[in-house]
Structure 1
Amino acid sequence: MTQCGNLPVEMNTFVGRTAELDEIAKLLTRTRLLTLHGAGGVGKTRLALKAAQSIRDDYPDGVWVAELSSEMNGDLLAGAVAGLLGLPVQAERPVMESLTAFLADRRLLLVLDTCEHLVGPCAELAVAILTGAPDVHIIVTSRQELGLPLEIVKVVEPFPVPPPEAADLAEYDAISLFLDRARAVAPGVRTDERAMMAIARLCRRLDGVPLAIELAASHMRGLSATQLADQLDDRFKLLADGDGLPVRHHTLRTTAGWSHELCTPAERLLWARLSVFPGAFDAESARGVCEDERLPDVPDVLASLVAKSVVARVGDQYRLLDTIREYGRDWLGELGEGELMVRRHRDHYLSTALRMGTEWYGPRQLEWACWAHRELPNIRTALDRCLAAGDHRAALELSGALWVLWCYLGLVREGRYYVDRALATVGAPDPARSRPLWVAAHLALIQGDMTLARSRAEESVESAQHYGDADAEANAYIRLAGHRLLTADPDAARSYALRAAARFREAGPPDSPAPLSVPLVLAMAAAFGGDLDEAVEILRETRLRCEARGELSHRALGDYILSLALFGRGEVAEASAAAREALEVKWRLRDMVGSALAIDQLARIAASAGDGYRAAWLLGAAQRIWIAFGLPGPGALTSTEPRQIAAVRATELIGEAAYTRAYEEGAASHIEAAVAYALGD
């Protein structure tokens, strides 16, 4: 792997846990599956990440962290982990099979963080990986054990707290944690004897639970340690039992409630509303979902919650820790706003997805691609909530509105999962089906399912004509054209493309730019029909149009087709440059189909240029992509003959043994290494 993992940067000081870190390192020499088990707020995640950081040099293929608190759908767990590793599994090959094949010869550490709501799927995933990938180790953090025979469980306890008679308070990690976090908000924190005794009393009251201690310390800006301890004492007395003893298992919830009381009404309301987000969110989404006449200034209130450690800021995003989110969700229910906020969350992502579709063929493609990949947890949650609640029409509209994500940003399999489920719940006739049907046709084409692609596209045409949806009809014709191209009927493909052009003109305003998909289909039809000069002319004109709009995705597809045509005309250097430009953009967008096709094309070019080693290496790398990603292979998208010719030529150039070695090197490479090599000279 060229990457060494995705361990997050530490946002503040790690305190204590020296013995636990040593024990985890030793346990991982005895087991490949270690579960850090403990209550919420006890520090399981932070301990796992610190332990992983301390032993990362033992794993040449990296330490990879899958944060699962926002993943609600066990069916998509393997795909989420695959995507994390740069393996956005697509098509009909089982995801678990693709993932284990990818990991089979790698030595890495996988951290599955926050698994208690997905114990069954996580256990299934762990067994599959550990069985198929002998050098992969897994650390799990969970409030519940996975229950596997090969699992070693390490219980994570709260920090030890000083007894009332303790003399040397500074040696306790609970005290050190409180002081470290308190100094971050109030640099002049007093540490005289009286203050230290109050801090010790406070840590005892909080049972040494790290998150509870951090929440308490965040209030030191306006209170002394003594005042803080007194207030917390009063809060706990409300929950004391008949003997006056606090209900210990309520420690963190009580501290969250106390922090809640110290918030303003606006802060409490935003805290509750933010609990609708399953994980991270940005300021724009917080404002779009939460702001209204009751809460008119979300950015300022959000900043206040960050200052009070209720909301954590990570880069340009924000998140609530799980326990804090659970408290907010309960409060949201008390306010009677639960269903309202779920609808607002859904509507925000639907409207944003629609805007992405409207602006996709323009200068904001990379910006929208980043948004879509970053917001996947929220998108999945919105879809899953719609399907679970029987809000089928909304699920259909949202799954169709996300066509950019499914069709052009690498989420083919996941798109098929959601679109097919949504279509199954809303029967014909219904106007909301027209767009999801052509999206399903597009995904089936990528997966090599020609029969389904044709039937979905034809049904989309019928639905769109019935309801007067010219845009959906035009897009369905483009997919029928693609079907004809891939079934060797370029004349029929040209006819469908021209029909699409006419419907696109009817769909848009008179001054709207012509769609870019039509000339690309016409260029492919010309190239596949043998008229390379016409194809080159169309493509060069289309490239200028793409550049004028700042569009990248169709420009890159055009560059790939141009490379085919130029290579056919014997212009090898120009064909190589065009294929490299196509690969660079397709990889930036995580378009796996486009990336694999471009690498195959560069292998053909290398063979024709006499570089047998490079050709063999690239053929192996491309084949690994087709197989590992579960794609149908180049035979479903283009002729396999050029690839076979390239393999024969490379073998002639360097011999069978050298070809096999180079091919196997390429096949063993990570996708990022393959792309870097393909883009090099």
Structure 2
Amino acid sequence: MSSFVGRADELEEIGKLLARTRLLTLHGAGGVGKTRLALKAAQNVREDYPDGVWVAELSSEINGDLLAGRVAGLLGLHPQSERPVLETLTEFLAERRLLLLFDTCEHLAGPCADLIVSILTGAPDVRIIATSRQELGLPLEVVMVVNPFPVPPPEAADLARYDAMRLFLDRAKAVAPGLRTDERAMMAVARLCRRLDGVPLAIELAASHMRGLSATQLADQLDDRFKLLADGEGLLIRHHTLRTAAGWSHELCTPAERLLWARLSVFAGAFDVESACGVCQDERLPDVPAVLSSLATKSVLARVGDHYRMLDTIRDYGRDWLNELGEGKLMIRRHRDHYLSAARRMDAEWYGPRQLEWAYWAHKELPNLRTALNRCLDAGNHRAALELGGALWVLWCHLGLIREGRYYLERALAACSPGPDPVKSRTLWVVAHLALVQGDMVLARSRAEECVENARRYGDAEAEANAYLRLAGSCLFTADLDGARAYALEGAVKFKEVELGSAGEPSVPLLLAMAATFGGDFDEAVEILREVRLRCEDHGELSIRSLCDYALSLALFNRGEVAEAARAARTSLEIKWQLRDVVGTVLAVDQLARVAAAAGDGGRAAWLLGAAQRIWITFGLPGLGADAMTTLRQGAATRALELIGAADYDTAFREGMASPIEATVAYALKA
């Protein structure tokens, strides 16, 4: 959000190193500017990489098991199948020329090193820049040490040529536009930069205090701080510079600012004002929004859109103070409870007009949701993990995080005591749903049956109904249409016992309509779907409505109404992509390929089939493993081949396969 200052020699050196090495690690202490330097260097060489420069910011990821999935998702792969994510990722990268930037690797040095070795082994034209406070220890690694800025010696005359001076003045003028730059002031700035050893973050923190202070006053205060520390702890070594600057900045904060700084360290990644209030506000901090704003003016926080974020080094300092205050466990609990409460609100309001708002919230808050789940699991609080993971069923089932949801929920189930437990019911049907989408019908049925038994024991009609829906889905995908209808109707009976209604209720007629379509009764399917679609519209519901649009497109297509089928499929795709529902997205793209083939556009059909294939690869089973679905794809491919011939088909298919998902959606939505 601020200008880039200096580092001309380092940028030139990085450009040379990238021409002859495949792994470059920018190594240095916290606050020295590794990330800013890496981003600027990556920007400078962007044109050398036809498949792009991709930045994986890893500071909020604390689980090495999910690292490959994070990188795959960054590249638009969204791997969901039982197939190893690393296999999918390296296969995708094998034929691409791109640059990956892994930012902040030190807390996951081992998993990062393993992932990098796999990528570089399987993808010969990929290069990687890593930033880390420690070397990764790999034989192929070239390490470039990022040092603080050179500082002007006391006798220096041309002070303005030093990057440390330029950085301070640039940041100071942002908070104090009338800043004096006469000789006396410049000498004070030089003294201040020397005291801070040229560490960029320390300089920026100091510059943020120029509102109301002169450079001389600021340098004098900092001198006093360093002398006090040297007297108390002996010789002050360079390693302590940033911590000393952070401590000095901390002392210049008000008591309320210091307390909020400490409490905010519990967050991972960015957070909004509502979350900060929910976790940190109490009688000791009654006005969190005002204190957030003042911390941002002092560079303790950075404002990014409607969220705030804290640099890792600043967060580390705050976390130490939080533990010193004895509030560490309290804030972790408040953080968990805040996100559990929010997840429950999302659950309660999902069947309604706020779906896009909740989808935005869930995707934006992913780092904090992951952190809360990991803390529960790591602390042995498995029932809390079950409760939070289950409450986030919308994120796993509707918003595309299929594999990640199954990972967390299966971990929580495995860690809990065996036997019935009321908290398990929702987790069981959610896992059944995720397994169903991944094509694992055996697990889907076993988890759904276990849920039915558990839910009956505790009188949980909603969970029992949702379990029946997953059993109906497993029958539908294995061509047992009678079984699908029977389980769907059992679910309908149980949903009637739920007092306030349920977000799963519209799925009953949807399943019945899909069974009618697969059974050849297209008129019945259209009638059911139009009725349930109106019901969803009345509630402002989008997710199930868009699945109804997809199913309606199938039925209309089979009635010969190709233009209407195309409109329904595009409507479905538009919503599914807004929700980032990868399953719904790829189903709609497949259907639009069928429409294109039926309309005589073989090139468009082949391109869309290739683009869909790239997404299906991440599931391992095209068409969710259902013969009825894969037959539709095969029919479109056969027709497209007839229209344009094998050579042109292969060319268009490969072009589609190379398309990122964003471009695929944009192309598919064109009429």
| TM-score, reference length from structure 2 | 0.97
* Greater mean alpha carbon deviation, residues 498-507 or residues 624-633: 624-633
The CA deviation at 1:596 is 1.6
Distance 1:447 1:209 in 2: 49
The CA deviation at 1:241 is 6.2
Of 312, 331, 355 in structure 1, the residue corresponding to residue 345 of structure 2 is 355
After superposition, the Cα gap between the structure-2 partners of 1:64 and 1:666, relative to the gap in structure 1 and judged at 3 Å, is same
The CA deviation at 1:513 is 8.9
The CA deviation at 1:131 is 2.0
After superposition, the Cα gap between the structure-2 partners of 1:487 and 1:55, relative to the gap in structure 1 and judged at 3 Å, is same
Aligned match of 1:452: 443
Aligned match of 1:439: 430
Task: Please say if residues 98 and 629 of structure 1, whose CA atoms lie closer than 8 Å, have aligned partners that are also in contact.
Answer: no
Aligned match of 2:236: 246
Task: Please say if residues 37 and 143 of structure 1, whose CA atoms lie closer than 8 Å, have aligned partners that are also in contact.
Answer: yes
Distance 1:433 1:514 in 2: 18
The CA deviation at 1:586 is 1.4
Aligned match of 2:86: 96
Aligned match of 1:507: 498
The CA deviation at 1:507 is 1.3
Of 627, 639, 643 in structure 2, the residue corresponding to residue 649 of structure 1 is 639
Of 514, 521, 528 in structure 2, the residue corresponding to residue 538 of structure 1 is 528
Distance 1:310 1:332 in 2: 15
Task: Please say if residues 239 and 247 of structure 1, whose CA atoms lie closer than 8 Å, have aligned partners that are also in contact.
Answer: no
Of 339, 354, 361 in structure 2, the residue corresponding to residue 364 of structure 1 is 354
Task: Please say if residues 232 and 258 of structure 1, whose CA atoms lie closer than 8 Å, have aligned partners that are also in contact.
Answer: yes
The CA deviation at 1:231 is 1.1
Amino acid at match of 1:181: R
Aligned match of 1:5: none
Amino acid at match of 1:92: E
After superposition, the Cα gap between the structure-2 partners of 1:365 and 1:660, relative to the gap in structure 1 and judged at 3 Å, is same
Amino acid at match of 1:87: L
* Greater mean alpha carbon deviation, residues 79-88 or residues 290-299: 79-88
Aligned match of 1:3: none
Of 381, 394, 397 in structure 1, the residue corresponding to residue 384 of structure 2 is 394
The CA deviation at 1:491 is 2.0
Aligned match of 2:559: 569
* Greater mean alpha carbon deviation, residues 292-301 or residues 234-243: 234-243
Distance 1:135 1:643 in 2: 32
Task: Please say if residues 66 and 111 of structure 1, whose CA atoms lie closer than 8 Å, have aligned partners that are also in contact.
Answer: yes
**Within the alignment, does 1:219 sit opposite 2:209 as a pair?**
yes
The CA deviation at 1:243 is 11
Distance 1:661 1:429 in 2: 55
Distance 2:669 2:316 in 1: 47
Task: Please say if residues 102 and 628 of structure 1, whose CA atoms lie closer than 8 Å, have aligned partners that are also in contact.
Answer: no
Distance 2:504 2:134 in 1: 56
After superposition, the Cα gap between the structure-2 partners of 1:242 and 1:565, relative to the gap in structure 1 and judged at 3 Å, is closer
Distance 1:496 1:627 in 2: 30
Distance 1:345 1:76 in 2: 22
The CA deviation at 1:198 is 1.2
Aligned match of 1:114: 104
Of 241, 256, 269 in structure 2, the residue corresponding to residue 266 of structure 1 is 256
Aligned match of 1:602: 592
Task: Please say if residues 25 and 142 of structure 2, whose CA atoms lie closer than 8 Å, have aligned partners that are also in contact.
Answer: yes
Aligned match of 2:460: 469
Aligned match of 1:624: 614
Aligned match of 1:588: 578
After superposition, the Cα gap between the structure-2 partners of 1:634 and 1:610, relative to the gap in structure 1 and judged at 3 Å, is farther
The CA deviation at 1:656 is 2.1
Task: Please say if residues 466 and 504 of structure 2, whose CA atoms lie closer than 8 Å, have aligned partners that are also in contact.
Answer: no
* Greater mean alpha carbon deviation, residues 329-338 or residues 642-651: 642-651
**Within the alignment, does 1:496 sit opposite 2:487 as a pair?**
yes
The CA deviation at 1:286 is 0.6
The CA deviation at 1:244 is 6.7
1:238 alignment partner, SS class:
helix
Deviations 1:438-492 (A, max 9, x none): 0000001001111110110011111111111111111111111111111212222
* Greater mean alpha carbon deviation, residues 473-482 or residues 624-633: 624-633
Task: Please say if residues 92 and 631 of structure 1, whose CA atoms lie closer than 8 Å, have aligned partners that are also in contact.
Answer: no
Amino acid at match of 1:488: A
The CA deviation at 1:632 is 5.0
The CA deviation at 1:245 is 4.1
The CA deviation at 1:648 is 2.0
Aligned match of 2:509: 519
Deviations 1:573-621 (A, max 9, x none): 1111111211222122121111222222222222222222222222222
Deviations 1:519-566 (A, max 9, x none): 111211222222211110010111112222221111111011111111
1:506 alignment partner, SS class:
coil
Task: Please say if residues 351 and 503 of structure 2, whose CA atoms lie closer than 8 Å, have aligned partners that are also in contact.
Answer: no
Of 177, 180, 183 in structure 1, the residue corresponding to residue 173 of structure 2 is 183
| Residue-pair matches, total | 670
Task: Please say if residues 352 and 539 of structure 2, whose CA atoms lie closer than 8 Å, have aligned partners that are also in contact.
Answer: yes
Amino acid at match of 2:353: P
Task: Please say if residues 287 and 298 of structure 1, whose CA atoms lie closer than 8 Å, have aligned partners that are also in contact.
Answer: yes
Distance 2:556 2:38 in 1: 53
**Within the alignment, does 1:486 sit opposite 2:480 as a pair?**
no
**Within the alignment, does 1:164 sit opposite 2:154 as a pair?**
yes
Distance 1:133 1:587 in 2: 29
Could you tell me the percent identity over the aligned residues? Answer: 78
Amino acid at match of 2:481: P
After superposition, the Cα gap between the structure-2 partners of 1:46 and 1:637, relative to the gap in structure 1 and judged at 3 Å, is farther
Distance 2:448 2:66 in 1: 26
Amino acid at match of 1:401: A
Distance 1:469 1:102 in 2: 44
Distance 1:513 1:366 in 2: 15
The 5 A counterparts of 1:187-336 are 187-240=177-230, 245-336=235-326
Distance 2:185 2:357 in 1: 50
Distance 2:518 2:645 in 1: 32
Distance 2:206 2:194 in 1: 12
Deviations 1:606-644 (A, max 9, x none): 222222222222222222211144455454373422322
After superposition, the Cα gap between the structure-2 partners of 1:587 and 1:371, relative to the gap in structure 1 and judged at 3 Å, is same
Aligned match of 2:334: 344
Amino acid at match of 2:498: A
Unpaired stretches in structure 2, ≥5 consecutive residues = none
* Greater mean alpha carbon deviation, residues 626-635 or residues 500-509: 626-635
The CA deviation at 1:514 is 8.6
Task: Please say if residues 438 and 619 of structure 2, whose CA atoms lie closer than 8 Å, have aligned partners that are also in contact.
Answer: no
Task: Please say if residues 59 and 105 of structure 2, whose CA atoms lie closer than 8 Å, have aligned partners that are also in contact.
Answer: yes
Deviations 1:14-35 (A, max 9, x none): 1111111111111111112111
After superposition, the Cα gap between the structure-2 partners of 1:631 and 1:639, relative to the gap in structure 1 and judged at 3 Å, is closer
| TM-score, reference length from structure 1 | 0.96
Aligned match of 1:70: 60
After superposition, the Cα gap between the structure-2 partners of 1:243 and 1:127, relative to the gap in structure 1 and judged at 3 Å, is closer
Task: Please say if residues 505 and 514 of structure 1, whose CA atoms lie closer than 8 Å, have aligned partners that are also in contact.
Answer: no
Amino acid at match of 1:167: A
**Within the alignment, does 1:125 sit opposite 2:123 as a pair?**
no
* Greater mean alpha carbon deviation, residues 644-653 or residues 307-316: 644-653
**Within the alignment, does 1:42 sit opposite 2:28 as a pair?**
no
Distance 2:545 2:49 in 1: 39
Deviations 1:277-326 (A, max 9, x none): 12211111111111111111110011110011111111111111111101
Aligned match of 1:383: 373
Distance 2:422 2:622 in 1: 32
* Greater mean alpha carbon deviation, residues 196-205 or residues 596-605: 596-605
1:239 alignment partner, SS class:
helix
